[in-house]
Amino acid sequence: MEKRRVVITGMGVVAPNGIGIDNFWDSLVHGRSGIRKITHFDASSYPCQIAAEVPNFDPTDYMSPRIVNRLGRFTQFSLAASQMAVEDSGIDFSREDPHRMGVFIGTAIGGLDVFETRHSIFMEKGLKRLSPFTAISCSTHSASGIISCELNLKGANSTIAAGCNSGMDAAYMAHNSIRLGDADLILVGAGEAPITPYMHAIFCVSGNLSRENREPHKALKPYDINADGMVLGEGGAVVIFEELNHALERKAKIYGEVVSYSALNEAFDLFGVNADDGTMALNFKNALERGHVDIRDIDFISAHGNGILSYDIDETQAIKKTFGELAYHIPVTSIKPVTGHAISVTAIWQIIASLLTIKHGIVPPTINVQNPDSRCDLDYVTKGFVKKNVETVLINVHGFGGRLTTMIVKNFLPERLRS
Catalytic residues: 164, 304, 341
Closest to 380 measured CA to CA, from 321, 337, 417: 337
CA distance 333 to 305: 8
CA distance 287 to 296: 14
End-to-end CA, the chain: 15
For residue 105, give the H/E element and its range: strand 101-106
> Is the separation of the CB atoms in 348 and 188 below 8 Å?
yes
CB-neighbour burial class of residue 268 (10 A; exposed 0-12, middle 13-18, buried 19+): middle
CA distance 97 to 99: 5
Fill in the DSSP letter of residue 364.
Answer: P
Q: What is the C-alpha R_g of the chain?
A: 20
Q: What are the residues whose beta carbons fall under 8 Å from the beta carbon of 196, sequence distance 6 or more?
A: 40, 41, 112, 113, 116, 117
- Amino acid identity of residue 20, one-letter, is G
CA distance 19 to 227: 28
What distance lies between CA 114 and its chain's CA centroid? Answer: 22
Fill in the DSSP letter of residue 146.
Answer: H
CA distance 77 to 58: 10
